[in-house]
Amino acid sequence: MRRFNLPSLLALCSLLLAAPAAFAAYTDRDPGSACSVRVHYPATIPAAADAFILGVGTSMSRSDYDFLAAQLTTKGYVVVAMDHSPGNMVKTDAAKYLACANLVKSNIAAWLAPNGFSSVAHWILGGHSAGGQAAQNAISANPSLANAIFSIDPYNLTGAGAVTGPALYWGFAGTTCFVNVNDAAKAGYYGTSGQRAFVRVKKQNTFGPCGFSPKYFHCSFCDGHCPACTNCMTTPNSFFVDVGNSVQKFVNAAFYGTWSKANLTVAMTTPTELFVDGDAP
């Protein structure tokens, strides 16, 4: 009989409580030697769907964002977790991001055609951490690359190229994983002209296997957190649900309704603050 110690049981319980009820379907593709992607799609895919490309963070891969993608695909979106520098821990290269994103855009119709998909209604591009920085600079230099931006705690955007919204950034009120809050999502928000929104997660510490640490932090967006950066607790599924609902509000306000703070506001379990357009974080 296999025996579990208490920390192992706690970790297992945490994982079971946090995991989404079901993952969306996905297909792994390698359209180039320097481009590795996981394409998530809903069970019933619209013929013309809104599609996200999310560049992965430092030392991360295409398989590290399944929980987040599962929530977005429930809204009818296609979600591409894109590793634009496979085998390399550094993911800040904007040229590599651009090249990989263009390969995705050229091939996605063929990849998903058997599922009834034919075209992308809007491309929403961004990334997590270093992938967010690569996205910001790639879009700044190539504005037609994206119809909108969605980035999650992008790494060090101070000095990154300016972009035009609509844009949604998720970030934190506390610095974690060496990502300074003033250089991350906040800097992305201030570096965007036009329609922009910033969801800032409030500081909230909790006791866990690693002691007293932030409940939500830079790597909360990843399935198993990031190498050498964890609070030893699996992110609660409510966090991913909140992100998914926020993204849906953003897409609807940007493309299908009226842009306003009221239309971007979501009731959340996660403690957050919302800043829109002229609001000053």
Tokens of 135: 């996205």
Which residues are paired to 29 by β-bridges?
37
Domains annotated on the chain, with CATH: 6-276 (3.40.50.1820)
Looking at the chain, the number of H-run helices and the number of E-run strands are 7, 13
For 110, the 3-state DSSP assignment is helix
Q: Determine the Cα–Cα distance for residues 73 and 25; give it in Å rounded to an integer.
A: 9
| Amino acid type, 79 | V
Contacts of 165 (CB under 8 A, 6+ apart): 148, 149, 192, 193, 194, 195, 196, 254
In tens digits, the chain (281 residues) has pLDDT values of 334 343 333 343 444 344 444 456 999 999 999 999 999 999 888 889 999 999 999 999 999 999 999 999 999 999 999 999 999 999 999 999 999 999 999 999 999 999 989 999 999 999 999 999 999 999 999 999 999 999 999 999 999 999 999 999 999 999 999 899 999 999 999 999 999 999 999 998 888 888 888 899 999 999 989 887 988 888 999 999 999 999 999 999 999 999 999 999 999 999 999 999 999 99
Q: Is 193 exposed, middle or buried (0-12, 13-18, 19+ CB in 10 A)?
A: exposed
* Pairing assessment for the beta strands 48-55 and 119-127 based on DSSP bridges: parallel
Q: Determine the Cα–Cα distance for residues 267 and 205; give it in Å rounded to an integer.
A: 21
Which residues are paired to 202 by β-bridges?
none
Q: What's residue 208's pLDDT?
A: 80
Q: Contact at 8 Å (CB) between 18 and 237?
A: yes
Exposure letters 155-170 (e unless 16+ CB within 10 A, then b): bbbeebeebbbbbbbb
Identify which of 65, 58, 54, 61 has the alpha carbon closest to the alpha carbon of residue 23: 65
Q: Is 34 exposed, middle or buried (0-12, 13-18, 19+ CB in 10 A)?
A: middle
Angle, vertex CA 272, rays to CA 41 and CA 253, nearest 5: 50
Q: Determine the Cα–Cα distance for residues 247 and 238; give it in Å rounded to an integer.
A: 14
| Amino acid type, 171 | G
For 235, the 3-state DSSP assignment is coil
For residue 128, what is the DSSP state? B
For 179, the 3-state DSSP assignment is strand
